Chain A
């Protein structure tokens, strides 16, 4: 999500109005965290609700932006029932003992038309570095230069085995690809 913020820095006409760090709040009903992984020749897809998201965007100084997101593992849904149960079970995410996944950015860099967000992700109590690519847009209904409501798309991937989520390794792929679509609104 921070990456999205960085992209805002690219919007030069808008930055003049928000040249200091700006806090944003997630619009949960309009946001989703999608994921997919390989299942034989097919894909398992699903969604995970966002519990909390703290976003501070600095369009003048992208590196000052910061993102912290917490996901609700127990609320996760997958494309078929067994996949959701397997994913939340003790062999994968172990949602009883680890009900949340957390990501917190450590650095944000401008990257092409978007941004690169480096951070630390904690899954099953194990923390590793993670890099996500970010892109952002102004939400529909808002004029150019109006950064009060933004849409951020973050993409990245983790290898679940790095976090001890090794269940059904003979059936389900190790790499989990994330596609986060967050809609945020300015709070200050």
Chain B
């Protein structure tokens, strides 16, 4: 039930997938909002919320990667060498890399600003970068760039999953219910 098999996603993988999906969309919406509002006392807490959710997303991504090391997920449905499956694997790999790099770039940039990086309102994360304008500017520029890249990849990921869903090949059903309709 919890573990993945060669043909189905286990409950833990599916729970992580959909939890992270919600979290990432919330983070993208929140981050985009923060980039376009005038900071003030009334919305200062949103910056802390963004950091907290980002740290949770990073943690879940690491947990998911470790879990998949012990319980490998099933390969894409269909021939492994099919173009769509190769694209799917490349997209998944890129999304994982971005889910690691994106929060780390935000963490680096925030630490480089000289301010404590505080999550959950009172936990101060270690400063993982020197206090430096160059590190801060580069970190935030990278954070913005990686965000756009992630948005593009998520559009591709969702479009691919939707197409497979319309074809009823079992891919979408497998991530929702664990197994394909033919299992």
Give the interface of A toward B (CB within 8 A): 39-42, 80, 82, 85-86, 89-91, 167, 171
What residues on A are CB-neighbors of B39 within 8 Å?
Answer: 39-40, 171
- Chain B residues lying within 8 Å of A89, measured Cβ to Cβ, are 113-115, 131
Q: Which residue of B lies closest to A91 (CB)?
A: B114
Residue of chain B at shortest CB distance from A43: B41
B44 at interface by CB-CB < 8 Å: yes
Bound together, the chains give a CA A171 to CA B115 distance in angstroms of: 14
Q: Enumerate chain A residues within 8 angstroms of B133, measured Cβ to Cβ.
A: 91
Report the 7 A-B pairs with minimum CB-CB distance, sorted nearest first. A40-B40, A89-B114, A42-B41, A40-B38, A171-B39, A42-B40, A41-B40
When distances are taken between beta carbons in the complex, the residues of chain B under 8 Å from A85 are: 114-116
Residues in B neighbouring A41, C-beta threshold 8 A = 38, 40, 42
Which chain B residues in 87-119 approach chain A with CB under 8 Å?
113-116
Report which residue of B42, B113, B131, B133 has the largest number of chain A beta carbons within 10 angstroms of its beta carbon: B113
Q: Give the number of A-B contacts (CB < 8 Å).
A: 34
Residues of chain B from 34 to 63 with CB closer than 8 A to chain A in the complex: 38-42, 44
Distance to closest chain B CB from A170 (angstroms): 8
Count how many chain B residues have C-beta atoms less than 8 Å from C-beta atoms of the other chain: 12
Residue from the list B38, B41, B115 in contact with A86, Cβ < 8 A: B115
Q: Beyond the given A40-B38, A82-B44, A171-B39, could you list 18 further A-B residue pairs with CB under 8 A, ordered by the A residue number?
A: A39-B40, A39-B41, A40-B39, A40-B40, A41-B40, A42-B40, A42-B41, A80-B41, A80-B44, A82-B115, A85-B114, A85-B116, A86-B115, A89-B115, A89-B131, A90-B131, A91-B113, A167-B114
Q: How far is the CB of A25 from chain B (nearest CB, A)?
A: 36
Closest to A42 in B: B41
The CA-CA distance from A75 to B15 in the complex, in Å, is 49
CB distance from A54 to the nearest CB of B (A): 33
Q: A39-B39, A171-B39 given as contacts; is B114 within 8 A of A86 (CB)?
A: yes
Separation of A86 and B42 alpha carbons in the complex (Å): 18
- For residue A86, which residues in chain B have a CB less than 8 angstroms away from its CB? 114-115
Q: Which chain A residues border B131 with CB–CB below 8 Å?
A: 89-90
11 pairs of residues in contact across A and B, judged by CB atoms under 8 Å: A39-B39, A40-B38, A40-B39, A41-B38, A42-B40, A82-B115, A85-B114, A85-B115, A85-B116, A89-B114, A90-B131
Closest to B47 in A: A82
Chain A residue with the shortest CB-CB distance to B136: A91
Give Cα distance in the complex from A171 to B116, angstroms.
17
Q: Within 8 Å CB of A167, what residues of B? A: 114
Cβ contact of B114, chosen from A39, A40, A90, A171, cutoff 8 A: A90
